Amino acid sequence: MKHQTARVVLVAAAVVIASVLTAGAQSLADVARKEAARRKDVKAPVTVITNDNLKVVPPVAPPAVPAEAGGQPPSPDAAAPADAAQEKAQEKAEETPNPTRDPEYWRKRMADARLARDRNAFMLEAVQSRINALTNDFYARDDPYQREQIGLARQKALAEFERMTQHQADLEKAIADIEEEARRANVPAGWLR
């Protein structure tokens, strides 16, 4: 009886697979014919946009420091803050991303940041699970010494959880900073995926 059931199941599976393969081959042929007909109907040349076609937009220069009211040039005392502001603007211009960086640079940088975030989130869940287990174990014990040891381990796990939660927030901010830096460098959004 078992052998008959097994044969019926195998025959049914073979029929289903054969019908799927046949249907797939027919639909693929139909799709190929339709695509060939569509290509014949296209008359206008198609424009393909690549990185070579796009113009590189230079970063915006910081605004000039205005002169003091009254049209007079700033005093020597006021020149020091202006020089400091110019130095900060120059440092910021040096920190601005290089717009000629390739898509691979941005993809790798974003992928690394997301991987670090996801890894930390996974570890955060593991620590939370450990805290839950220690809490349950703490309340299940009657021995004061064992409860004390479990309580210490739980406190360490809680401290680790707090540290990792802060680290998770820092990793999220780092991803947002990369996105902002890319936006300022006029990097297409697709480069960050």
HSE-CB for 41 with a 13 A CA cutoff: 6
Q: Where are the domains of the chain?
A: 99-188
Q: What is the mean pLDDT of residues 81-96?
A: 59
Higher local confidence (pLDDT), 9 or 98: 9
Separation between Cα atoms, residue 9 and residue 15, nearest integer Å: 10
Q: Per mean pLDDT, which range of 15-24, 134-143, 160-169 is the poorest?
A: 15-24
Instruction: Give the pLDDT of residue 65.
Output: 54
Contact 187, 106 (CB under 8 A): yes
Over 90: is that where the pLDDT of 182 sits?
no
Compute how many other C-beta atoms are within 10 angstroms of the C-beta atom of residue 95: 8
Confidence of residue 103 (pLDDT cuts 50, 70, 90): confident
HSE-CB for 153 with a 13 A CA cutoff: 17
Contact 158, 131 (CB under 8 A): yes
- Tell me the whole-structure pTM to 2 decimals: 0.46
Instruction: Give the pLDDT of residue 92.
Output: 58
HSE-CB for 80 with a 13 A CA cutoff: 2
